[in-house]
Amino acid sequence: MELTPLLVIFLQTGVVFAGSHSYSYFYTGNSDGGQGHPHFTAAAYLDDFPIGVYTSETKTFQIKTKWIEEKADPALWKNYTNIFQRWETDFRQGVKKMMEHFNQTEGFHSLQWMYGCELDDDGGIRAYDLDGYDGKEFMALDLDRVIHISSRPETEAIAHKWNTETIEAEKMKTYLEVQCIETLKKYISYGKEHLERKVTPQVKVFHQQSAGFIKLHCQVYGFFPQAIKVKWLRSEEEKVQPFEVLQILPNTDFTYQTRVTITVAPEEMDTYFCHVEHSSLEKPHIVVWEPSRNNLLYMSLGASSVLLLILTFVMGLWLGRRRPANRTSTYSLTPGKEAGLQAAQESFGTPAAAARWCQWFPGSRLHYHYASTLVTFYSGNHPSHLSSFSFCIQRRSAINYGYLLNLIWTGAWQRAVISPVLALQSYFSGSIFSQAYGFWTLICLQIWTIHEI
């Protein structure tokens, strides 16, 4: 049997059946507690919204729903606190037993238990009792046969043991099908004006660029009740498939939100419609998305930028292969040159570092201040070494003409490529060009470096 994340089951309990209400409990015991992660947590929920929460840190049941707190008997909350305090002790032992069962001696582990009931508008009822370990279901109570069924082979022994305690299973069945439903009805009456209200959904459509495609998102939020239908249409008739659906999630203000997404290729650019149906609407709410000139250019230029980057890299390699051999020799540390760089090594630590300073001396404007510092240093401290360093000056002067050509080539490249990119960047604010410009600049500098070396 496929293992199901228990939290997902928990979040879905109130969304599967439209027009229903649910009342449920969710317990969690952790092997290691700490700040923000208490050893034990218990929460009671009405539909998808918390009534109250108990933790091993607070040691009390704290109410989260004001309109229930105002109408319920205060003694009820004290009763909740007493019940959860007893379960806290049981869960601490339960986590240890599960770790022993799975031969685990360390690490973070958790034991979960969820149970509750649902009531349809037509009077139909449902109930559930699920156990989980480390986020995966391992046991469920079959209320028809009143037996525990293991979801994992390694927990069948636990199911066999629990099934010998038939009295506890019978008690749970009675609670879920009778007492739980009565409590749910009472809470529904407390919050009738809240639970039966209708809040119109807000709808927003937007797009995102993704690898040459456009993702269209239809964000629907702030609606109540939960049941809703959201879909994308093309030309107001054709339903778009497939699409990604974000699970319907509760908001803190007792409303819901969801999102539906489709991916559109360049050849599929068209007018799309987000179609929303909800009980608060007299007719479907439709929001239109149309491809603008910016969207089309955005996609085409986004694809062409990849090609330009590739061409830039290839050009850099080609220029690197065409560099003259005598320019490469500025990095070569022959015995004679090594002796000539010995003085520089005193300041720069290694022959290679001194060679790099020599290479940039005195032609490069980027490092000209380094050259001035170097001459001043040798003139004031080691005048005898300045003459032995002169071969580097002469060598560098011989390639200044090539450096001048390099500056001309770099300037032309900047005017031909970088300037247009900057212009496009100002036009497409926040687009791919804004992100790509920095990368392109690095590529250009890399070409310059290869060409210069």
CA dist list (Å): 33 to 5, 71, 92, 338, 398:
22, 34, 11, 64, 72
**Which of 194, 215, 242 is the last residue in one of the domains?**
194
CB 205 within 8 A of CB 217: yes
- Phi, psi dihedrals of residue 88, rounded to the nearest 5°: -60, -45
Looking at the fold, whether 363 and 260 belong to one and the same domain comes out as no
pTM, to two decimals: 0.57
CA dist list (Å): 7 to 107, 113, 114, 170, 439:
20, 10, 9, 26, 42
Task: Look at residue 387 and tell me whether its pLDDT is greater than 50.
Answer: no
Residue 253 lies in a domain: yes
Burial class (CB in 10 A: 0-12, 13-18, 19+), 320: middle
Residue 1 lies in a domain: no
Q: What is the pLDDT of residues 257-315, one digit of tens each?
A: 999 999 888 878 888 999 999 999 999 999 999 886 445 444 444 445 545 556 655 56
Mean pLDDT calculated for residue range 311-329: 51
Q: What is the pLDDT of residues 117-133, one digit of tens each?
A: 999 888 899 999 999 99
Residue 83 lies in a domain: yes
Task: Look at residue 231 and tell me whether its pLDDT is greater than 50.
Answer: yes
d(CA 426, CA 74): 63
- Quote the pLDDT of residue 158: 96
The total of structural domains in the chain comes to 3
d(CA 17, CA 121): 10
Question: Max alpha carbon distance in the chain (Å)?
Answer: 104
CA dist list (Å): 66 to 49, 190, 194, 196, 253:
12, 11, 11, 17, 12
**Which of 143, 172, 194 is the last residue in one of the domains?**
194
**Which of 194, 214, 239 is the last residue in one of the domains?**
194
Burial class (CB in 10 A: 0-12, 13-18, 19+), 89: exposed
Looking at the fold, whether 71 and 54 belong to one and the same domain comes out as yes
- Phi, psi dihedrals of residue 203, rounded to the nearest 5°: -125, 135
Residue 258 lies in a domain: yes
d(CA 411, CA 313): 18
Domain range for 284: 202-291
Looking at the fold, whether 270 and 356 belong to one and the same domain comes out as no
